[in-house]
Structure 1
């Protein structure tokens, strides 16, 4: 008969625990119990001691010559108290006095507690405490060997949330702007509902589908919609929940997750932020073997289970380029479903979906709001609708209006209006010319987005003002001329400052950053330079998380890139200066109007711009009178 080594582990732990308990009890009796007894002894004066001898109230006396202390028991009012006082002398006269009073001279220190109390404090009470702790430890050790709750091995149990049927409450009708992704996922749900029609033609269900896209586009929401549509169990877990302090626990969680999924097949398993455990294996030896073991176990499990049973793996990430190629190959994640930023129609649909949750005016034009919110993700659009509702409540309205939605776009883009920041008259004038410089350069160029709004009201993002341009329709491509015009528009604010005030300020810092970034991209990524033609000098990583770029060329080439970038920005800057100088009267007129009104719409801007100079002069004279 063989003995399981695991059975010896609880006994070994308890034996060690018993030895430790005995040592602790010994130390308690040596150090703690005397301290308790010491605290029960009352200090008195030597005169009190002599009075007690004279009144024959003292029963026992002990001289501690080494520490010069007298311990004695005092019986007073029917109560006995152990006292101590300083030892002054031990002459025969004092001893005779003690003896004649009837007190006993003893060699042991009198104690306040009875022997029973001493045994209770020094032995019985610690024994009870350690027996209780021992039972608790034995229970935890038993659970750890069986994988029960609270045991050490419970770390290896998957803590995935299980949703059955439509408990999430989200359907595909609640998701808008991602029609292609919904179509692909709808096919997966249909296969789980009606597998026979697919098997009849010999088709098999994809083992996995990888949802990739920028943050806030609705990857997790789509997975929850699948849970709402599918009439099968839905396991949801985050990639970070596989990461454990103990090596091997992450792999154990993966095994347990797939074991549960196989038992409840057909079902759907959703792993959010899979890049946490699915990063590329670089082959370098490092201390973090836990993540690699977890990934290897995930790869093995995805190969091991039978897809015909109806177990589908969904995963979401916004860093697809960091995933291990073995994870994304066909046979594991067969489908890669892009969940991109919504287009114009998608934004309009998303706004309508979220607008159903609030009270809104009947005349709201969602198409105009969607145009103004170009580049916004689904999460940002939801925030825009919520901000509109909050603004309506602040203003005492019972429903949100078009103006609320338009203002909420600006809140999401630039922050709230900073009413506490009051600009001086000169700063306000500089900001007015700066913003009109942007707008005027944009309007005087072809292939440039129309001006939608100009404001010089400071925002919480730090902007002292901004010019908003809105495209008439959806744009997916930009020509070389359009990008150059955009650089000129970005330099228009600084150009206006130079022309009017013959000085420059720090207000163009963000414009300079954007213009430089755009000019460098034209040269290094888009092949819009005659010097390098169609050669890529820059690579972009994490395109969904800001697009970190790195140059992949020689130092000499980098020097050329810097020179070309400076020349391109400088050329467009000079172009902006020339456009403003040629239209100096309009610059003054519009800047004055903006200075007085603080905010002007695109229609007002274009009206002033297209107005004839004679009429403008007449209006100016009339306002002067």
Structure 2
């Protein structure tokens, strides 16, 4: 959909206009500023100058006299003096043969000049104000438009102009199936009315960021071929009291005029937060907006074909009144895609770029567990950019693999200089991870090992890729993950008899897994199936909230430490048993800097 915008004039144009206005003011309203310097003198000095013959020209005004005379430097200069009641002045000037004139229209005290000096600046400032409003508000400079705060800022798309259909959405088959029912209702409402069924008034899309909630809403409108209103929750509430409620009213008014249509409110948690958590003194405007939204959803009839869609990644913060039946009747989870979903998403985005013959999207899908649709789109785009940068006309499998590493660990720091001694420590650290992983029965196969530093701060990494999609985590798998993470630090201790900061990220991940085992997964004999923590928000980060006393929390910390120590000891024992292989593989990695999982396994079998 092409949106035409009013061309904005550069600010230099308004700057030049302002300068021109100032010049005109000075020339026509305050001309004395541009005249030569005028010296004020008393009337006696004026008469003395006439007697000496220094006066060259005189102009007599109503209340003052201006004259040109010879100054002390022998040059002509302008002078001004007050007018006195002097009947002999004309005779003196005539006797001294001085040219003189009387001009009562030029007197600044005249009524006309007084009015002019006031009106012209006022008119000019009004004109400049209109130019300013036109530039800032973009509404043609009509000041009355400034007060039109109650108008909704929703972006409007006419029939099928969103440019999206369900064919553009992959990896969310369950969500599309539910939304297809709404499409069918908008196309054939009679069969639903005949049986007495009512379509949901509101549909809430919930899920992590980047999973395609907004895309699903646009695809729904494109499939139904009905008008589509799109607005963000934050656009309702601004600095003026009552604006949010007015915009809600206007949005629903427009929607009912365009019915059947779809209204999409993105990030609805911006206005739909629970009123229990709102501070009345600072968020009263947000509460008014929420109340108006609740009233509008109660006031319209879904049979007219107005469907309200909303999206959020913080459903636990929404007001209970917003989620009750009759408002948002249906809640559709839009989760992170599984293996098949990731491959389908990659196919959709890969269809828009030129691909080589060696492309294996299934391998990329297996290498990106936990990736959202937006992440996968970024990976394909990064691969295309890499292909252009290297002068190729198509994307290869190597481009896709490198783009996965860019998203995970950042770009390669090709100019980074690492001392040989530190490079050797990094190599032992990474081989420690890989060697421990290869000896564990519940660990994912090693895909790649590198000691090339990355922009994320990583000095090297070991990539493991699961052969199959894992939907459950067993206790044995969790312990093997922690043990593998301990392999890097165990190798440093075993070979160099010291520890480095390179294991910081490993320690963080291991602690998180061990804590989840104890507090959330019930994998501890000490606490059995007792929940000690709960997730604050399952879609945004991994923040948790304690459910137990400080004494119990201290016992949980001790249990976490016990698990980590057991896994650390296990990793050390594995490396001690394979110390010669550790030396061989680490030296090979120092020489090559990057080796594949196949190379690693071949060397491990031979050594």
Q: What is the TM-score when the length of structure 2 is the normalising length?
A: 0.84
Q: For residues 523 and 112 of structure 1, what CA distance do their matches in structure 2 show?
A: 100
Q: Give the corresponding residue for 2:264.
A: 270
Q: Give the corresponding residue for 2:15.
A: none
Secondary structure in 2 matching 1:156: coil
Which of 345, 363, 370 is equivalent to 1:375?
370
Unaligned ranges ≥5, structure 1: 1-31, 63-69, 87-95, 141-147, 617-625
Does residue 1:223 correspond to 2:213, yes or no? no
Give, in angstroms, the shift of residue 50 of structure 1.
5.8
Does residue 1:547 correspond to 2:542, yes or no? yes
Q: Give the corresponding residue for 2:332.
A: 337
Give, in angstroms, the shift of residue 100 of structure 1.
6.5
Does residue 1:73 correspond to 2:67, yes or no? yes
Conservation of the 8 A alpha-carbon contact between 1:204 and 1:308: yes
Which of 158, 164, 167 is equivalent to 1:170?
164
Moved more, 350-359 or 545-554: 545-554
Aligned residue pair count: 553
Give, in angstroms, the shift of residue 122 of structure 1.
3.5
Which of 450, 458, 469 is equivalent to 1:455?
450
Give, in angstroms, the shift of residue 126 of structure 1.
2.8
Q: Give the corresponding residue for 2:191.
A: 197
Which of 410, 416, 427 is equivalent to 1:421?
416
Conservation of the 8 A alpha-carbon contact between 2:50 and 2:96: no
Conservation of the 8 A alpha-carbon contact between 2:206 and 2:332: yes
Q: Give the corresponding residue for 1:206.
A: 200
Give, in angstroms, the shift of residue 84 of structure 1.
3.8
Which of 518, 521, 537 is equivalent to 2:516?
521
Does residue 1:83 correspond to 2:78, yes or no? yes
Change (3 A) 1:353 1:120: farther
Q: For residues 563 and 537 of structure 2, what CA distance do their matches in structure 1 show?
A: 27
Change (3 A) 1:52 1:205: farther
Unaligned ranges ≥5, structure 2: 1-26, 71-75, 82-90, 134-141
Q: For residues 510 and 150 of structure 1, what CA distance do their matches in structure 2 show?
A: 58
Alignment of structure 1 residues 405-420 onto 2, 5 Å: 405-420=400-415
Conservation of the 8 A alpha-carbon contact between 2:60 and 2:103: no
Secondary structure in 2 matching 1:289: helix
Secondary structure in 1 matching 2:357: coil
Residues 296-320 of structure 1: CA distance to partner in whole angstroms, max 9, x if unpaired? 1111111111111111100011111
Q: For residues 129 and 456 of structure 2, what CA distance do their matches in structure 1 show?
A: 56
Which of 338, 342, 346 is equivalent to 2:341?
346
Change (3 A) 1:45 1:151: closer
Conservation of the 8 A alpha-carbon contact between 1:60 and 1:103: no
Which of 98, 102, 119 is equivalent to 1:127?
119
Give, in angstroms, the shift of residue 273 of structure 1.
0.6
Which of 549, 552, 559 is equivalent to 1:564?
559
Does residue 1:247 correspond to 2:241, yes or no? yes
Q: For residues 399 and 112 of structure 1, what CA distance do their matches in structure 2 show?
A: 86
Q: What is the TM-score when the length of structure 1 is the normalising length?
A: 0.82
Q: Give the corresponding residue for 1:288.
A: 283
Secondary structure in 2 matching 1:340: coil
Residues 498-522 of structure 1: CA distance to partner in whole angstroms, max 9, x if unpaired? 1111111111111111111111111
Change (3 A) 1:167 1:121: farther
Q: For residues 360 and 117 of structure 1, what CA distance do their matches in structure 2 show?
A: 84
Q: For residues 117 and 355 of structure 1, what CA distance do their matches in structure 2 show?
A: 80
Conservation of the 8 A alpha-carbon contact between 2:69 and 2:79: no
Conservation of the 8 A alpha-carbon contact between 2:51 and 2:96: no
Change (3 A) 1:251 1:409: same
